[in-house]
Amino acid sequence: MAATTTNPTFAAIPTSTSTSTKTQKPHSLPSSISFSIALPKRLRITSSLQNLKPSPPSATKTRTHSPLPTIDTDKPFVSRFAPDEPRKGCDVLVEALEREGVTNVFAYPGGASMEIHQALTRSNQIRNVLPRHEQGGVFAAEGYARATGRVGVCIATSGPGATNLVSGLADSLLDSVPIVAITGQVPRRMIGTDAFQETPIVEVTRSITKHNYLVLDVEDIPRIVKEAFFLANSGRPGPVLIDVPKDIQQQLVVPNWGQPMKLPGYLSRLPKLPNEGHLDQIVRLISESKKPVLYVGGGCLNSSEELKEFVGLTGIPVASTLMGLGSYPCSDALSLHMLGMHGTVYANYAVDQADLLLAFGVRFDDRVTGKLEAFASRAKIVHIDIDSAEIGKNKLPHVSICADMKVALQGMNKILESSKGKLKLDFSAWREDLNEQKKKYPLNFKTFGDAIPPQYAIQVLDELTNGNAIISTGVGQHQMWAAQFYKYNRPRQWLTSGGLGAMGFGLPAAIGAAVAQPDAVVVDIDGDGSFIMNVQELATIRVENLPVKILLLNNQHLGMVVQWEDRFYKANRAHTYLGNPSKASEIFPDMLKFAEACEIPAARVTKVSELRAAIQKMLDTPGPYLLDVIVPHQEHVLPMIPSGAAFKDTITEGDGRRHIFYLEFTCSYGFTKVISPLKVT
């Protein structure tokens, strides 16, 4: 029997349990229970891993990306066991991971998962990177997946170990990141008895996973693992959880590796090939428009080449979401960079003035749209996404296609190529208008004496790495500045927690990226608030000798919350100072001592004149390095469109040096309407 979700928001996918000819066990539980959420997923229809090699250029000097460790799938898998040799369930689980091509996992042991760890020590293929906290492990698995497009794997024990994965699972669901999380569970006979370290993690994670399993028959492990990897990386990617009771891990079995997947409901809902007539209709709308704009998101990360070809054929300017950065080169003349709350004025202007909005691989997130009624109000909207649930959810399109973005772009490119002589696409006047906006409202910042502008620190990093580093971030002001001032020219070099906005993401995500791309320059651009949430992962970096560079923008405050306090709460500080009030003139805590405790080289820079040399030294130092960059807490991320407001309400001036707040009222739609700015010295 298959259990169904009790959340009315989601529909359960029916799955049948496997059959067996062996004698029924004494317990009365069914052989397996699988929980799933019917969310058609974005980015890829196939679970194939081909063509996912990272782009070759690297960061500084002559470094190049090394290829990912791969398993030759043309050769038959050679097991450590004889075909008819019984082995423990934990060994079956590890071999199932090996058969999926897994070479790295991020696993923290405990009582209910130690059998799995014992089995990992018997694997010659899988390396375990030991995090110092389960949240660090799941964020590292995400970093691995985001940097490669492959499934990241993390493992935790039952109870608190499993619940420590929750933020990472929610984050990967919102950002469409393929991970498989494996948790130990108390023995089957103890489930439901409130046993030591028992948590019903399947129930806890039901609404924040794409699919999850409670394994109740050891013979189901090969099928379940195969399904989990297929589900995680097909359609719109997402997290899948497998909960394995300890007695299942210990039980002897001769596995059947030929079991077929049982996902009829899921497979039937995967998008089909796009209708050529619909693609023709989109091309016709492009030919009729005068001011078209591309609005691209994370759904385009696997179709970057097709997107570049499409832009080359049409000459349409490209605005990217936070998640879509790198899908189209930010340094290209047709790039409008990021749109949305902290997007460029010219990107938001383009969407506001457009007569055709091509929304590719996006979900019309509130941080992009602001006031929905005012977003792209002059435009016809074309929405293509692999997730049918996203189409029309927030903004009703004029034309919509539920399809893989790569396939849809290939189809449109074919039509555009064949129509070159007939189509007269000339958007030069529109592009000139946008170029004027770029000149009028460039991204900029002010300098104040010797103080280091945080934006400048990121700009220098971009210059010294030639824009080739893999960048991870925490969440807050530094995240937005990293999105604005580092120019991402290829997909999967930008790793950030977008939908969930999980502080503490940057450092462990950098670990995952460094494991996946050992020869790449990986830089965690972090804030002091985010960094300290997973500071324990410095130990992992040191022990694994991972060359992660940490550019810490330290302003002693929760910067983004301080900015909102300045703007909307009359600069009233409500627990946003992270230093020691009794020693306000000192840097607290001393981040250099954290690094010293973990034997990681570190330095602090306080003057703008010393910044470039300090960053160069960080990049030139072999192995990990922490650079503590002291920046003013009064800086604001600009431009800014207040939450629920429209393009016309864009803020482009001001910071915390002169406290700025706004008269507000809440309208019937629930958003804050800005009336007029007031300055208070």
How many CB atoms are located within 10 Å of the residue 74 CB?
A: 5
Question: Residue 498: CB partners within 8 Å, gap ≥ 6?
Answer: 174, 175, 298, 321, 322, 323
279-288: pLDDT as tens digits? 999 999 999 9
Nearest to 304 by CA among 590, 98, 33, 52: 52
For the cut 80, the answer to whether the pLDDT of residue 34 exceeds it is no
Nearest to 139 by CA among 515, 417, 487, 467: 515
Summarize the confidence of residues 5-20 as an average pLDDT.
Answer: 34
556-573: pLDDT as tens digits? 999 999 999 999 999 999
How many CB atoms are located within 10 Å of the residue 66 CB?
A: 13
**Where does the pLDDT of residue 72 fall: very low under 50, low under 70, confident under 90, or very high at 90 and above?**
low
pLDDT for 43 equals 33
Total-model pTM: 0.88
587-627: pLDDT as tens digits? 999 999 999 999 999 999 999 999 999 999 999 999 999 99
446 is catalytic: no
Cβ atoms of 32 and 214 closer than 8 Å: yes
pLDDT for 76 equals 87
**Where does the pLDDT of residue 420 fall: very low under 50, low under 70, confident under 90, or very high at 90 and above?**
confident
391: three-class secondary structure by DSSP:
coil
542-555: pLDDT as tens digits? 999 999 999 999 99
Place of tokens 């998962």: 113
**Where does the pLDDT of residue 75 fall: very low under 50, low under 70, confident under 90, or very high at 90 and above?**
confident
Q: Which two tokens stand for residue 115?
A: 């059998």
Which is more confident, 666 or 113?
Answer: 113
Question: Residue 229: CB partners within 8 Å, gap ≥ 6?
Answer: 47, 100, 151, 180, 240
Chain centre to alpha carbon of residue 303:
16
Residues 613, 352: Cα–Cα separation, whole Å: 42
393 is catalytic: no
Nearest to 457 by CA among 579, 323, 604: 604
Average pLDDT of the chain is 89
246 is catalytic: yes
Candidate list 323, 480, 560, 640, residue with the active-site label: 560
For the cut 60, the answer to whether the pLDDT of residue 54 exceeds it is no
Candidate list 134, 219, 227, 306, residue with the active-site label: 134
> What secondary structure letter does DSSP report for 64?
B
643-660: pLDDT as tens digits? 999 999 999 999 998 655
User: What's the Rg (C-alpha) of the chain?
Assistant: 26
**Where does the pLDDT of residue 25 fall: very low under 50, low under 70, confident under 90, or very high at 90 and above?**
very low
516-530: pLDDT as tens digits? 999 999 999 999 999
479-504: pLDDT as tens digits? 999 999 999 999 999 999 999 999 99
231-288: pLDDT as tens digits? 999 999 999 999 999 999 999 999 999 999 999 999 999 999 999 999 999 999 999 9
pLDDT for 185 equals 98
Q: How far is CA 494 from CA 220, 444, 474, 523, 678, in A?
A: 37, 21, 12, 10, 37
pLDDT for 70 equals 54
Task: State how beta strands 239-245 and 211-215 pair.
Answer: parallel
Q: Which two tokens stand for residue 20?
A: 């067996």
Cβ atoms of 3 and 35 closer than 8 Å: yes
pLDDT for 71 equals 58
**Where does the pLDDT of residue 309 fall: very low under 50, low under 70, confident under 90, or very high at 90 and above?**
very high
Chain centre to alpha carbon of residue 104:
19
Distance from the first to the final alpha carbon of the chain:
68
498-515: pLDDT as tens digits? 999 999 999 999 999 999
Candidate list 41, 210, 226, 246, residue with the active-site label: 246
State the sign of the Cα–Cα–Cα–Cα dihedral 478, 483, 485, 487.
positive
φ, ψ of residue 253 to 5 degrees: the values are -160, 150
Burial class (CB in 10 A: 0-12, 13-18, 19+), 319: buried
Task: State how beta strands 104-107 and 292-296 pair.
Answer: unpaired
503 is catalytic: no
For the cut 90, the answer to whether the pLDDT of residue 12 exceeds it is no
196 is catalytic: yes
Q: What is the 3-state secondary structure (H, E, C) of 181-238?
A: EEEEECCHHHCCCCCCCCCCHHHHCHHHCCEEEEECCHHHHHHHHHHHHHHHHCECCC
Candidate list 125, 197, 353, 410, residue with the active-site label: 197
Place of tokens 């934990």: 90
> What secondary structure letter does DSSP report for 677?
E
Q: How far is CA 349 from CA 301, 374, 434, in A?
A: 24, 12, 8
Place of tokens 């992962």: 537
**Where does the pLDDT of residue 58 fall: very low under 50, low under 70, confident under 90, or very high at 90 and above?**
very low
Residues 357, 351: Cα–Cα separation, whole Å: 7
Residues 192, 384: Cα–Cα separation, whole Å: 44
673: three-class secondary structure by DSSP:
strand
Candidate list 1, 61, 77, 196, residue with the active-site label: 196
Cβ atoms of 369 and 644 closer than 8 Å: no
Nearest to 470 by CA among 551, 531, 558, 559: 551
For the chain, how many helices (H) and strands (E)?
A: 23, 23
Question: Residue 387: CB partners within 8 Å, gap ≥ 6?
Answer: 39, 40, 41, 42, 235, 236, 363, 402
Question: Residue 459: CB partners within 8 Å, gap ≥ 6?
Answer: 485
The backbone region for 670, taken as left when phi is positive above 0, alpha when psi lies in -120 to 50, beta otherwise, is left
209-234: pLDDT as tens digits? 999 999 999 999 999 999 999 999 99
**Where does the pLDDT of residue 424 fall: very low under 50, low under 70, confident under 90, or very high at 90 and above?**
confident
pLDDT for 482 equals 98
Cβ atoms of 176 and 146 closer than 8 Å: no
Nearest to 614 by CA among 551, 523, 541, 538: 551
